[in-house]
């Protein structure tokens, strides 16, 4: 919503200066934990658009509210699998597991790690008092900071750290009592989060320049306020304007100055933060990793060298050699971000382009599947959410389902790249239909990578979702496709045999009068073979334009498409 002066605002419970309705120490058990998650989910749903509008840092892609809401939605959905009388530890762990697997974006990664720390603190508990809640918030703040390879002040991390400090002080002041009231601890945390949020523009220049507070920080204020409301029974809601005091850049006392390049800022304490690193990266890459803690640490370091907003969160259960980790990075080289896993098992690989114009609400969301890593960047830059399908990936269905939601559109088309992804896409459509989802999801027929490329190209001229479906489907329909298999083991075939297969494949597919041949080249194909294929095509259709895309797929040697 918007206030009378045009500032962005959202409904927060505002405790300062007001008497709480119920300041007694309530039992915090599994039922109260469920109630907190429900209230948090509702608060994020109501504030989703407002938080999206605040999104400035690290990338102004207007999705912080959406990412927080979707991550919490996955945590909440996990509760449906539990019995009604599940213990506090069981509820907390289920929420944490669901949020980890469903984390979206930078803010969602932090939230999943935050909930995971709460879950770990309450793992063996049936009910807790305020002292343990203070420990949980302290552990959550540390975990949230550890989730990011390079934490930045003025973000959600500042808000959660302030809440943790206040909770710890409240628990200390209550020492000596038989029990520390939960209400006192969570009220202190909520109040501190409000105060810390107001300070975020003075710590981060991009916020001061736009005259707003941090979107992720505002989301965590909602969560902490929902916690305090749940525990105390308070529902005192007043609108809080989420613009910086005094408006845009220059009016915030102590706000940093930076040149146009954004190379360096200094916060109100004189600490420098080099922001060009955080602002770099045209692509958001996310995937789930199965690996040891040491491998996850190594991956975090490698991703820090090629991108920004790096998060590798999760953990390894006791006595288990491997655990599940959720990986997030903004980078200019999505292929390198995937390859950084270095042979560890990955799944649900989804890639989005961050710099494009935000599509209209009635635009088509398009999910493009590919086995060719070299196509990830161009397909994403063209407007698709890309699902990279590794040969050993057991999570194709969950990856496609995730990408459908991540597209952010009400109508979504899926372009499979082969029989396995086509079958998985149909299952995804069925699951959305079965649960009565408001999303309209459909599979758009495609036959291999070349057809996927032709289909995604149709988005360029699309307006409404209906127009986009027609253009994407038309691009696929106009494209005849073919494959050239390796005559032997991929990447190690006899060059002469591969050349003969390529020439034969081109001559069989191309017809006189064809205008464009798209060639998606596999990993290890010699240049001479590509040239021979192009020459064979020109021999059949002299005016044909040959477009070569370095797909880098293990197999087939070539994916061909002719229009």
Domain ranges of the chain: 9-247, 279-477, 480-562
pLDDT for the residue numbered 272: 36
pLDDT for the residue numbered 59: 66
**516: closest CA among 453, 444, 424?**
453
pLDDT for the residue numbered 7: 41
Q: What is the pTM of this model?
A: 0.74
**What distance in Å separates the CA atoms of residue 552 and residue 30, rounded to the nearest whole number?**
50
DSSP tag of 473:
H
pLDDT for the residue numbered 98: 92
Q: Which residues in 304-433 belong to E strands, given as ranges? A: 307-315, 323-331, 345-353, 364-370, 385-388, 411-415
On the 0-12 / 13-18 / 19+ scale of CB atoms within 10 A, 323 is middle
Q: Which residues in 103-259 belong to E strands, given as ranges? A: 127-128, 237-241
* End-to-end alpha carbon distance in the chain: 48
pLDDT for the residue numbered 492: 67
9-247 placed in CATH 1.25.40.340:
yes
Provide CB contacts within 8 A for 43, sequence distance 6+: 222, 223, 225, 226
**285: closest CA among 149, 406, 395?**
406
Q: How many other C-beta atoms lie within 10 A of the C-beta of residue 7?
A: 15
CATH topology of 9-247 equal to that of 279-477? no
**What distance in Å separates the CA atoms of residue 261 and residue 241, rounded to the nearest whole number?**
29
pLDDT for the residue numbered 200: 87
Q: How many other C-beta atoms lie within 10 A of the C-beta of residue 268?
A: 16
**557: closest CA among 506, 510, 516?**
506
**Is the four-CA dihedral 197, 202, 203, 208 of positive or negative sign?**
positive
pLDDT for the residue numbered 36: 95
**What distance in Å separates the CA atoms of residue 510 and residue 482, rounded to the nearest whole number?**
10
pLDDT for the residue numbered 308: 86
pLDDT for the residue numbered 24: 41
Mean pLDDT by 10 residues, the chain (563 residues): 41 39 61 94 91 76 84 93 92 93 87 92 90 92 79 85 92 73 91 90 83 89 92 60 44 31 32 40 90 90 89 75 87 92 85 77 88 94 92 78 88 92 93 88 90 90 84 92 89 84 96 96 94 96 95 92 94
pLDDT for the residue numbered 266: 31
**What distance in Å separates the CA atoms of residue 161 and residue 168, rounded to the nearest whole number?**
11
Place of tokens 């986009």: 468
* Distances in whole angstroms, Cα of residue 536 to Cα of each of 497, 529, 531, 546: 15, 11, 9, 11
pLDDT for the residue numbered 461: 72
Are 379 and 452 in contact by the 8 Å Cβ rule? The answer is yes
On the 0-12 / 13-18 / 19+ scale of CB atoms within 10 A, 38 is middle
CATH of region 279-477, choose from 3.40.50.740, 3.40.50.720, 3.40.50.510, 3.40.50.1370:
3.40.50.510
pLDDT for the residue numbered 156: 85
């Amino acid at each position: 919503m918007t206030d009378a002066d045009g500032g962005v605002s959202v409904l927060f419970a505002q405790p300062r200066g007001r008497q709480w309705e119920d300041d007694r120490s309530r039992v915090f058990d599994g039922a109260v934990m469920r109630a907190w998650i429900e209230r948090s989910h509702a608060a994020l749903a109501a504030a989703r658009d407002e938080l999206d509008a605040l999104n400035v840092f690290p990338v102004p892609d207007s999705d912080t509210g959406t990412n927080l809401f979707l991550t919490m939605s996955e945590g909440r959905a996990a509760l449906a699998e539990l019995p009604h009388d599940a213990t506090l530890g069981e509820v907390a762990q289920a929420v944490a597991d669901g949020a980890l697997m469903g984390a979206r974006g930078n803010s969602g990664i932090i939230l999943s790690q935050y909930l995971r720390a709460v879950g770990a603190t309450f793992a063996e508990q049936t009910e807790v008092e305020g002292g343990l809640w203070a420990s949980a918030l302290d552990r959550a703040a540390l975990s949230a900071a550890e989730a990011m390879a390079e934490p930045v002040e003025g973000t959600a991390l500042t808000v959660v750290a302030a809440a943790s400090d206040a909770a710890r002080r409240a628990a200390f002041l209550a020492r000596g009592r038989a029990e520390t009231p939960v209400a006192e601890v969570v009220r202190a945390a909520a109040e501190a989060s409000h105060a810390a949020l107001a300070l975020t523009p003075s710590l981060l220049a991009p916020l001061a320049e736009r005259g707003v507070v941090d979107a992720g920080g505002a989301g965590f204020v909602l969560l902490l306020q929902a916690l305090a409301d749940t525990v105390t029974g308070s529902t005192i809601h007043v609108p809080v304007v989420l613009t910086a005091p005094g408006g845009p850049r220059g009016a915030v006392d102590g706000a940093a100055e930076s040149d146009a390049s954004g190379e360096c800022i200094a916060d109100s304490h004189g600490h420098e933060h080099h922001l060009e690193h955080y602002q770099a990266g045209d692509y958001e890459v996310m995937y789930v990793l199965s690996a040891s803690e040491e491998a996850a640490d190594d991956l975090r370091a490698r991703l820090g060298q090629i991108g920004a907003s790096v998060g590798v969160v999760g953990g390894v259960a006791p006595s288990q050699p491997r655990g599940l980790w959720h990986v997030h990075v903004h980078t200019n080289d999505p292929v390198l971000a995937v390859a950084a896993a270095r042979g560890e098992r990955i799944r649900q690989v989804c890639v989005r382009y961050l710099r494009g114009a935000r599509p209209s609400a009635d635009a088509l969301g398009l999910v493009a599947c590919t086995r060719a890593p070299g196509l990830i960047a161009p397909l994403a830059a063209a407007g698709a959410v890309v699902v990279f399908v590794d040969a050993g990936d057991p999570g194709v269905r969950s990856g496609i389902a995730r990408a459908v939601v991540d597209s952010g559109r009400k109508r979504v088309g899926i372009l499979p790249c082969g029989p396995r992804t086509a079958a998985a896409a149909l299952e995804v459509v069925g699951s959305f239909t079965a649960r009565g989802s408001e999303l309209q999801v459909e599979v758009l027929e495609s036959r291999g990578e070349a057809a996927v490329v032709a289909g995604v190209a149709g988005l360029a001229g699309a307006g409404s979702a209906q127009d986009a479906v027609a253009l994407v489907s038309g691009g696929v329909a106009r494209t005849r496709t073919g494959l050239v298999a390796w005559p032997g083991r991929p990447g190690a075939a006899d060059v002469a045999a591969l050349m003969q297969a390529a020439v034969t494949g081109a001559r069989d597919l191309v017809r006189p009068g064809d205008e464009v041949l798209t060639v998606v080249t596999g990993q290890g194909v010699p240049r001479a073979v590509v040239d021979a294929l192009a020459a064979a095509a020109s021999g059949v259709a002299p005016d044909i334009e040959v477009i070569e895309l370095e797909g880098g797929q293990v197999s087939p040697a070539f994916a061909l498409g002719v229009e």
